[in-house]
Amino acid sequence: MFSQELPIYTALVLLVLPLYYLYSKASCRSKNPAVLPTNWPILHMFPSFLANLHKMNDYFTLVLAGSGHNFRAHGPPGTGMRLFVTCDPANIRHIFTTNYTNFPKGAEFAAIFDIMSGGIFTIDGEPARRQRTKIKSVLSSLRLVARIEAWCRDKVENNLLLLFTHMASTGTSFNMQELMSRLMFDLAAMPLFGVDPGLLSLDMPPMEAAVAMDTVMEVAYFRVVVPASCWKLMRWLNIGPERKLKAAHKVLRVFVMEMTERRMINASSVGNGKQHEGVDIMSSFLDDPYYTEDDMFNALTISYMIAARDTVGTALTWIFYNLSQNPNIVSIIRNELSPIASHKVAAHPDAMVIFEPDETKSLVYLRAVLYETLRLYPPAPLERKMVAANDIMPSGHEVHAGDTILISLHSMGRMEGIWGKDCLNYNPNRWLSEDGNELRYVPSHKFLAFSSGPRMCLGKDIAVMQMKTVIASTLWNFDVEVMEGQCIEPKSSCILEMKKGLIVKLKKREMLH
């Protein structure tokens, strides 16, 4: 099928390379690059996208800031590259709420994330509604929520803080991003399978499945920003990122199989006196024949693992980074924690202070810190939608059936017209009422970190609980120092992870008794 297309792609590459070189040189010389991508003959804006592939989020922010929060982009004829890029809240409300049925994920989105095809994040219409209803029912179980909170609290106390204590006592620097990834991998798998993978421990066991998830999101990013015919050709030839992705898919399928087997072994020993055995998300889906077919089951479990691990783990890393740059904010968080911690310190002066999920639920400033981080560093910086039928956006732009819409969450948090002149400043106070006792209302189409409309994140409260528990327990017990000389930049991925991680050192805080 692709053999006849190969000479076409060879010619395309030969055309792109010199234009890419010229565009890169022009961009380097120009102190004020053009607002819109250069529209080349035949290739249109494809070379501009190619030249900025490694910094697409910043590139979108630059272009959107100079073009009124919206712009169009086109690629070579026949590639299907017809994009409408936006961070306009009015357009986002239209896409996610007012006329959301006209903006599905689409078949190409499911192809891009093929390992999750059939899962909640890749489907539309009635199948999506059915799965969403099922997941909402599962996550509303008080017994399961109580277990998720207990698992989080216990994992922080018995693994994370012990590991931090060891790092602090030995003065060892470490990659905070990797530790947050390990922590959230365990906390994602435990509610799903009822089994602890045990990645967060002193011996730092291999984390092949977690690395495979990173590969899925990195290759998906590549698939999102290049014409579909390009990556499909690479998949057919089994070369480049597609070869790496194929291996990652195999690792993830093996992981799901192994965890399912461990779950069955645990379930067979329910009579061992452990009252919480059998309380897991998988149990609810295995009771429904609709979800037990192998491909569907893999799609569901891998979708949940990626959503639960990547979003929270990435957000936690950026929170620690931003707090290290703002010690005054750390002091305010500790002051907010102090009334809770005081009686714990009085009762056990030399013990680590653990904050229960119920104790941090009402902490307003800590939540403002989380939201401010998510505003500037949304874990999923880009949303992708298709246009089902011709439409006119609130901004006045026409979109046509078959167009792709890219919503830049990363850019939206950096727009002066949306957040004010201090939009680039890290300022949790922007989320607080004048007296500081309540959160200000910010509509979801302006703050899209938890999505909006019918696809609003069902795990929002769980994610906030986990982030609060980790941040509160870490900041009260330790000072976190980010090592100097690091280049902090995001990797090219659908998840806003740091390219080289975040290297930190910890120092145990001396408490006044």
Residue ranges at the known binding site for heme: 457
CA 307 to chain centre: 7
DSSP sequence for 97-140: IITGGGS---HHHHHHTGGGTTSTTT--HHHHHHHHHHHHHHHT
> Can you tell me the distance from the alpha carbon of 236 to that of 302, in angstroms, rounded to the nearest whole number?
24
Nearest to 221 by CA among 376, 85, 455, 382: 382
**Cα dist. 485→171, 413, 482, 488 in Å?**
18, 26, 9, 9
**Cα dist. 469→124, 151, 355, 359, 462 in Å?**
34, 11, 6, 9, 11
Helix (H, G, I), strand (E, B) or coil at 312: helix
| 313: Cβ contacts below 8 Å, ≥ 6 apart | 177, 180, 181, 183, 184, 185
Q: What are phi and psi of 363, to 5 degrees?
A: -75, 105
**Angle, alpha carbons 331-334-335 (nearest 5°):** 85
Residue with tokens 């956006």: 393
73 pairs with which residues across the strands?
83
Count CB-CB contacts under 10 A for residue 138: 17
Decide: 43 and 16 in contact? Cβ < 8 Å: yes
**Which amino acid belongs to residue 410?**
H
Nearest to 367 by CA among 272, 286, 293, 450: 450
Decide: 341 and 353 in contact? Cβ < 8 Å: yes
Q: What are phi and psi of 132, to 5 degrees?
A: -60, -45
**Cα dist. 14→19, 20, 242, 349 in Å?**
9, 10, 21, 69
Which token pair is 112?
């891009």
* Residues counted in the chain: 513
Annotated binding site: 457
Which token pair is 287?
């009771």
81 pairs with which residues across the strands?
none
Which token pair is 436?
């500081």
> Can you tell me the distance from the alpha carbon of 165 to that of 506, in angstroms, rounded to the nearest whole number?
8
